[in-house]
Amino acid sequence: MFTSIVAVVIAAMIGGLMTMRQRRVRIAAENGMRQEISENNDGVQEMRAAIPEEIDNVSHTVALLEQREAGHAVPGSQFKIGLAVMSFTNANWQTASVTGAMSSIDYNTVERFAGAYFEQARLAQLQTSTMESMMSLSSYVGDGKKLQSMSPEQARTAEIQARALLAHLKMMSRMTEGVQAAYKKALSLTLNRKSNRQTSNALLFPGLASKNLLKNGLRREAVKSESRHKSPGAIRRGLLRVWYPR
């Protein structure tokens, strides 16, 4: 009888430990992906803000090529063709998938995270093809001085490349909106779940909730104080700006 009781207690303890471990794994996976998506969103926002200038530069190049195609003389001044390149990361998503942490996360949450990373992958692929288009155009026009000596046929070929790059940039502008919408959807879910957990804890354990509120408030103040002493590059991801040529 005693042996049976001990066995039941040990089994219960093991079950409890496994449940606690699964909960820790789930929280770590969700927090990691949420942080990763938040940082990627900052980069996409910067990319999105830079695209209008890039479109203007390429549109100016198209106008010059059209003049040269028509046989008109064009200035030999330099111009720039550039692209703000974002380094997307999905390490936390890959880690959660490989380690099996996804099995401890509810389906609705996984679906929204998957949607965010899927849209991110599509944008990354478009970014790669846009860079290739930019380099192809750069091989034709150089730093702008080649325009003066271009034949109408050469100008026409370069114009086709420039319009292709312009189409890529406009598509990137539209796609960044979809990516950020998917990011927002994923982040809003995790924030709502956190808010619901805090509300439940406040109802069940009012004393503990007050203590946690004070602790979290102090932690936020400490983070703000620390952030004020860090350089911007230390607390947010930046973009690699590629200009060819200056």
Lowest mean pLDDT among 26-30, 32-36, 150-154, 216-220: 216-220
Instruction: Identify the domain containing residue 139 by its residue range.
Output: 2-244
Count the domains in the chain. 1
Q: Is the pTM of this model over 0.75?
A: no
Give the H or E element holding residue 244: strand 240-244
13-64 confidence digits (pLDDT tens): 555 545 565 667 788 889 999 999 999 999 999 999 999 999 999 999 899 9
**What is the percent of the chain where pLDDT is above 90?**
44
* Helix ranges, 70-151 (H): 91-99, 107-141
Single out the residue of 26, 18, 20 nearest to residue 190, CA to CA.
Answer: 26
User: Residue 186, exposed/middle/buried by CB under 10 A (0-12, 13-18, 19+)?
Assistant: buried
Residue 13 has what pLDDT?
57
Number of C-beta neighbours around residue 21 at 10 A: 11
Nearby residues of 242 by Cβ (< 8 Å), 6 or more positions away: 82, 83, 84, 85, 131, 134
- The count of other CB atoms within 10 Å of the CB of residue 19 is 11
